A and B are shown apart, each in its own frame.
Chain A
């Protein structure tokens, strides 16, 4: 099954000569380590009662960091709810990722500040948002001008489960029909909660693109160098006006679906153990060590990690409770009079300080 995967950095840490020599491997390593730390710290915070829920991305760091680092500043990313590594690469403050899962906000960050949209919990919905955005890019004339300061593309993330959703297939149809500047980045982590990919599809993810009429690429999602290379290439094609690509990053979700899930009920631990040996961070660490990267670098990353942990723990507890008006304020661009009346009633009620009668 893994024979036809594009890869550059092998599981035992050997880098292919075909790899672009100018990529920042140290940066990739650091980004993967830091995003994993965000993930493990968030799980601990959930277990301590600070978060209601957390979807872990353990094992998917290479796919996310590879893709995240391929974006130009003007490109726009549409995440699912598991793209903590992409958020990190885009410069979104990791503390702000926690708000949604702590229940203090319905968003958490300004999507226009880093061109990183809000997490989408509805499976596959973001593929249509992304297609719509790509249509806007075309209408702005920001495609195929040849000006690297102007051309832009959309990178939308999805999981293997989203492939069985109508929205995703509609997005594929529309992206192909309009030749949109969009890249679909599917992290095939093989489990849609408890449903294995094998019960959803007879063909590999990447092969589906053919039927819609665009390119499909299959890459080792635990290989950060290869994941980066294919995304760079696909985004270049998109910006140049050559249409969409579907990237399948073949990987594995090593933790349960979320902190509310018990994967022992539907899969054997042996498979997870196998994928642990394919760890994306360890293989790059092996390579960096082989080429003589000095210990100071690893020590520096480790100390940044500790700092990040402390910042996340303190930052999480300090997240402010939402203002009573917040859920009204962001529903419409311009608030209808009726909603405004409801908001005022609500604010009055809250101000009166009565106990919730519910």
Chain B
């Protein structure tokens, strides 16, 4: 005999009330073993993999990636064979609390008094309490196993009707079926599309009309937005630009790249720009500092932890290179390459993104000339690097003066005017540009 067991979302971190489903590693129809990893969830404390308490066949996933689920709610059903496995204890479901402090260990967030026991009051229903929408995907052909995102729920209807529901933004789970054997008909969908649903479901990507797609703000996007708002509206930004002939640096790069000991080093122009910037920062100590509002102090830092902004499939991340000013050119090149590889693989740790003191954003790789970068919160300077391209440039003097095609780029430096003034900012940018124009200056 089979026996369908539900796995309820456990409190994996001493006092957590909810978690977000990140990735399902199994789908309905899969056969799983005890302790096989089913799902990755993200709590206020960490990313956690949940192993299966049961052996058997997955019959249903109760939440979609991106859903926030309350502790104690079922997340998966598994049909187990033979004798009944004892059902795991179900922790009492508690209403979600917002803005929990992120604790490493301990007993979770303190709840505001009265909140925990408030019942049926004005608190809006938490996301997980409303039924998850049926992903309006046509049922898979019988032979192919159901992909993870498809709900094998009770909603039955024909594929063209499903498509219609998707186009009209109708949640099939909410439609009252009138067809034979509980099948949702075209008329049902049309009827449902004209009335406003009682409860708006919060789907992962709700297609509420054909003209707009609503994407929940979360994860890296949410983090980036918060960081940018906090930076843009606390640190008064000044941005300065310099356009320069970087040909000498490009030639130096080619010369060094052909050296045997640089064979395995990825010497990008960015490496040279970073090196010139680090050198200039060392000569302008106020640039490597932090505004401490609370203490009413400017904190000057010894090491430059240089962040490199990286565009990844998950969004913008800014891991940093610790004490970058101490690295040789080859070490710096390696560090930048490692950082980018790790970031693109989505494996950048929060630790690698903390303690940054300055940032370089290489938006030139997207083909743009320049921009006005926004400071990474807590930092005083950020350097934006524009595209490096062949442009006409005036060279020579007097009778030798002529126009030649040269490698040219534009650097943009934003700085926090609370910490630095125009003089220091200008010196920092001019100093960086001078070394790139004439790398020989670096020996001075």
Contacts and interface: CB of A to CB of B under 8 A. Distances in A.
Contacts of B103: 260
A257 interface: yes
Given A49-B10, A193-B105, A264-B351, A313 B46 contact: no
A355 to B, nearest CB: 12
Interface string B39-55: 00000011111111100
A268 B14 contact: no
Interface stretch (A40-48, A140-148, A217-225, A234-242): A40-48
Given A47-B51, A48-B10, 16 more contacts: A48-B50, A48-B52, A49-B11, A49-B12, A49-B90, A49-B91, A50-B10, A52-B14, A259-B12, A259-B13, A260-B12, A260-B14, A260-B106, A264-B349, A265-B46, A313-B34
B7 interface: yes
Given A48-B50, A193-B104, A265 B350 contact: yes
Interface in A41-71: 41, 44, 46-50, 52-53
Interface in A214-252: none
A333 to B, nearest CB: 30
For the complex, would chain A's binding face be called helix, strand, loop or mixed by DSSP majority?
Answer: loop
Given A48-B88, A267-B351, A268-B352, A262 B47 contact: yes
B337 to A, nearest CB: 16
Contacts of A41: 35
B8 interface: yes
B290 to A, nearest CB: 20
A263 to B, nearest CB: 9
Contacts of A317: 86, 88-89
Interface in B77-95: 86, 88-91
Interface in B301-359: 349-352
A169 interface: no
The listed residue with most A CB atoms (<10 A of its CB), out of B51, B90, B105, is: B105
B165 to A, nearest CB: 36
Interface of A: 41, 44, 46-50, 52-53, 193-194, 256-262, 264-269, 313-314, 317-318
B109 to A, nearest CB: 13
Contacts of B51: 44, 47-48
19 contacts: A41-B35, A47-B12, A48-B53, A48-B88, A49-B11, A49-B88, A49-B89, A49-B90, A256-B46, A259-B12, A260-B13, A260-B14, A260-B104, A260-B105, A260-B106, A261-B45, A262-B104, A265-B350, A317-B86
A50 B105 contact: no
Contacts of B10: 46-50
Interface string B267-300: 0000000000000000000000000000000000
B172 to A, nearest CB: 31
A269 B52 CA distance: 26
Contacts of B50: 47-48
Contacts of A194: 104
Contacts of B351: 264-268
Contact of B349 (A53, A269, A314): A269
B69 to A, nearest CB: 13
Q: Interface size for chain B: under 10, 10 to 19, 20 to 34, or 35 or more residues?
A: 20 to 34
Given A47-B51, A48-B7, A49-B8, A265 B13 contact: no
A176 to B, nearest CB: 33
Nearest to A45: B53
Interface of B: 7-14, 34-35, 45-53, 86, 88-91, 103-106, 349-352
Given A47-B12, A49-B91, A313-B34, A264 B350 contact: yes
B104 A52 contact: no
A50 B104 CA distance: 21
Contacts of B49: 47
B48 A47 contact: yes
Contacts of A50: 10, 53, 88-89
Nearest to A321: B89
Contacts of B7: 48
Contacts of A48: 7, 10, 50-53, 88
Nearest to B13: A260
Given A258-B105, A317-B86, A53 B350 contact: no
Contact of A53 (B14, B88, B91): B14
Contacts of B14: 52-53, 260
A2 to B, nearest CB: 23
A265 B349 CA distance: 7
A112 B351 CA distance: 45
Nearest to B71: A49
A194 B102 CA distance: 14
A188 to B, nearest CB: 20
Contacts of B91: 49
Contacts of B349: 264-265, 268-269
Contacts of A49: 8-12, 88-91
Contacts of A265: 46, 104, 349-351
B45 A262 contact: yes
Contact of A46 (B12, B47, B86): B12
Contacts of B11: 49, 52
Contacts of A44: 35, 51
Contacts of B53: 48, 50
A254 to B, nearest CB: 16
Nearest to B49: A47
A330 B397 CA distance: 95
Contacts of A258: 105
Contacts of B90: 49
Contacts of A53: 14
Contacts of A257: 104-105
A53 B11 CA distance: 10
A258 B104 CA distance: 9
Q: Which 5 A-B pairs have the closest CB atoms?
A: A49-B10, A262-B46, A48-B53, A260-B13, A264-B349
Contact of B45 (A52, A260, A269, A314): A260
Contacts of B86: 314, 317-318
Nearest to B108: A260
